[in-house]
Chain A
Amino acid sequence: MNTVGRMEPLITVNCSTMECASLSPSAPIWQDVLAQAMTGELIAAMNYTSLSEICDDPNELADALEHAQIERGHAARFAVEGRKLGVDVSNNVDAKHWKRLRDAFLGCITERDFIGCLIVQEIMLESFAVASYARVGKVAPGSLGKTFSSIAAEEEEHVDHAMSILRAERALDAPRFDDKVYRLHLDVMTTLAKMLAKECRDGHCEVCHGNCVKPSLFEVSLSAAELRGASLQQYLKTLDMLGIPGEVTLTWVAQLPV
């Protein structure tokens, strides 16, 4: 089982000095945004690697390893964007919220629960990634924005890939499937909701390099509320695609912490 501690400098990329711009006032904000994104990508890479260890089907195993590689590539691209801004993008997969998310996934690995793994990674974590990257992509300048948008689109493809498997699974026993999603929702989405809350009530997130970045997001035309809203909307739409009744998922989301 992979348990990786603080991963800096796991990613090494070369960035020519010609690409690096002078440090802009918003660079520290983007640095923290990138740090969160990179940490999420590395968690995803670790999750797919772990998933490959329980895959019996060679095709599924190959898919999992390929996804792990893609997620590492995303992390590398975020690192490159940081360097273009003149900042080092750190990551911390042991930061408290991210570690809880990783632990939730590892719980499914322990149970050799392939479907549970897909639900956590593809439905919950990817919803968060797709929505928040897309929002960042709309406001971030230049190549930074393009990178976020492009990665959001790629992550969406991952969701599409998992959807057919999960829909087929739900068709076998909808109540049982929905119970499983709800159980995982309580763990994973509660943690994500705390991460996405407008204020970090549980102290420092252990990823931002200084003070919490959330109060500064308005300086780059973002807000924590917008990222949370977009993420939960994406999550609800994804659950709709699975066929879970809307009134059920509405209650789930309404009961999340704020």
Chain B
Amino acid sequence: MGGAVASVDRPERAIQAQADQGTTEPVDFALIGHQESWRAAADVLAALRGPDRMHLPDDEVKDILPWIPPRTVCHVEVGSILPTKIDGPTGATAHGLYIDSFIPPDRLEATHVHENIARVRGAAACAIRAGARIVSLGGFSSILIEGNFDQLPDRRDTVFTTGNTLTVGFIVQGMKKMCVLEGRDLRKSTLLIVGATGDVGSGCARCLAPLVKRVLLSARNVERLRRLAAELRIDEVQVEIATDCLENNLQRFSAEADLVICAASLASPSHLWGRIAPQAIVCDAGYPKNLSPNAQMPGAKIFFGGLGQITGGLRFRPDFHGILNRHPFPDVVHGCLLEGMALALAGRFEPFSQGRGFITQKRVEEMETIAAGHGIYLAPLYNADGPVGDGLHGQTEWSRACGDGLMEQAEVPSAKTEKTAKTEGMARIGVS
């Protein structure tokens, strides 16, 4: 499959880590994640058991999974569309690991925060031991750690990124795309961000606030809300705030907004159900994705935000195709994980996204350019009912053709052409 991302000298410690593991394959990146549902967890265990053994009954899955210590589940190889001298026209590749923290899907609430941080720490330790050069924190992993990087183990030569910058980029791109598809004018829109003071929520606010008529911010911490609102008002943005505790305010906000980004780390954002204005465009930017168009928000145009698609090829070993990536389109991955892969492909082993509240439009553009340069674009849009808009065709060209034109600057080849070339002989993931 070609060499690792090339031209990047591997530190001695990383080489020693491979020797300890009895492997010779470099670990350019590691992806830390967890399963978002018991169904997904059962499928992972079924794949590990192999086709000849019976699938575990649901009760056994729930009994077994919480006891599994964080560990590598599979090797991951990601391809770039950017040709290199070493790899020739097939493009560079980066090698990595998918490490599952095995946070049980029903233990995402705050009551389990200490246990879950311990699991993320354990997963981080696995990545460090393996000599990974950059680690992306997926799903709740980044939420748990974004404000607590000091809780990660001794990092040696490994750097960590929450991946939130690229997540914000894809959320913003998705919102722009939906507005075009639905014939909405961003400049006349009222945008509500739920979970506005989080890293992702505040990043979305900074990127979209200058583009809309009015911004409504909702979160639990009123002081952080005030600080963010004050920051946005410097640019003369019309901003109002509401804490989640003030039900009346949030109810009013929900009814007034025609664009909504749900970026709150909620297992189930039930307080929004039935309150969103009909025909509002709603981006489910949380993890797990749990907003359903018909049952919870009739009339709303919901899409799952923060997802990107790799056009240079993605392979798992062993083959977890369709299991670790449960999307209706091939090679779709959460933006937070894609950030680490894109940085690895670019040979930029740096903690691009760290801490909370530092994501700016400029940083998002920088990250999008890095990703696009290696063929990583906004994924076709979809929701729990299936594809949305041009997602029906499952292509990625649109994402480069719309929005602020950023993607064209990367001068990337046709995604469709590259995908055809790169995916021959490669296992595909995420095909429903």
User: Which residues of chain B come closer than 8 Å to A228, judged between CB atoms?
Assistant: 63-64
Closest 10 CB pairs of A and B: A246-B71, A229-B67, A254-B48, A174-B22, A225-B63, A247-B72, A233-B67, A246-B72, A258-B60, A251-B48
Cross-interface CB contact of A250 among B21, B53, B73, cutoff 8 Å: B73
A237 to B129, CA, bound (A): 14
Interface string of A221-258 (1 = CB under 8 A from B): 00001001110110011001001011101110111001
CB-CB nearest in chain B for A197: B60
Can you report 12 A-B residue pairs in the complex whose CB atoms are below 8 A from each other? A229-B66, A232-B64, A233-B68, A233-B69, A236-B69, A243-B20, A245-B23, A246-B72, A249-B71, A250-B71, A251-B318, A255-B48
| Interface flag for B427 (CB, 8 Å) | no
Q: Total interface residues on B, using CB and 8 Å?
A: 25
Contact at B72–A245, with CB atoms within 8 Å?
Answer: yes
User: Which residues of chain B come closer than 8 Å to A240, judged between CB atoms?
Assistant: 69, 71
| Interface flag for B338 (CB, 8 Å) | no
Cross-interface CB contact of A175 among B22, B53, B67, cutoff 8 Å: B22
Contact at A230–B74, with CB atoms within 8 Å?
Answer: no
User: Which residues of chain B come closer than 8 Å to A258, judged between CB atoms?
Assistant: 56, 60, 64
User: Which residues of chain B come closer than 8 Å to A99, judged between CB atoms?
Assistant: none
CB-CB nearest in chain B for A249: B71
| Interface flag for B267 (CB, 8 Å) | no
Q: Which residues of B contact A (CB under 8 A)?
A: 20-23, 45, 48-50, 53, 56, 60, 63-64, 66-69, 71-75, 97, 126, 318
A236 to B122, CA, bound (A): 13
Cross-interface CB contact of B50 among A178, A232, A255, cutoff 8 Å: A255
A243 to B21, CA, bound (A): 6
Contacts A229-B63, A230-B67, A247-B71 given; does A254 touch B45 at CB 8 Å = yes
A233 to B102, CA, bound (A): 12
CB-CB nearest in chain A for B61: A258
Q: Total interface residues on A, using CB and 8 Å?
A: 24
Contacts A247-B74, A250-B48 given; does A178 touch B22 at CB 8 Å = yes
User: Which residues of chain A come closer than 8 Å to B50, judged between CB atoms?
Assistant: 255
A246 to B318, CA, bound (A): 13
CB distance from A208 to the nearest CB of B (A): 21
User: Which residues of chain B come closer than 8 Å to A254, judged between CB atoms?
Assistant: 45, 48-49
| Interface flag for A198 (CB, 8 Å) | yes
User: Which residues of chain A come closer than 8 Å to B66, judged between CB atoms?
Assistant: 229
User: Which residues of chain A come closer than 8 Å to B67, judged between CB atoms?
Assistant: 229-230, 232-233
Contacts A198-B63, A250-B48, A254-B45 given; does A243 touch B22 at CB 8 Å = yes
A175 to B72, CA, bound (A): 18
CB-CB nearest in chain A for B57: A258
User: Which residues of chain A come closer than 8 Å to B21, judged between CB atoms?
Assistant: 243, 245
Contacts A254-B45, A258-B56, A258-B60 given; does A247 touch B23 at CB 8 Å = no
A229 to B66, CA, bound (A): 8
A178 to B20, CA, bound (A): 13
A6 to B126, CA, bound (A): 45
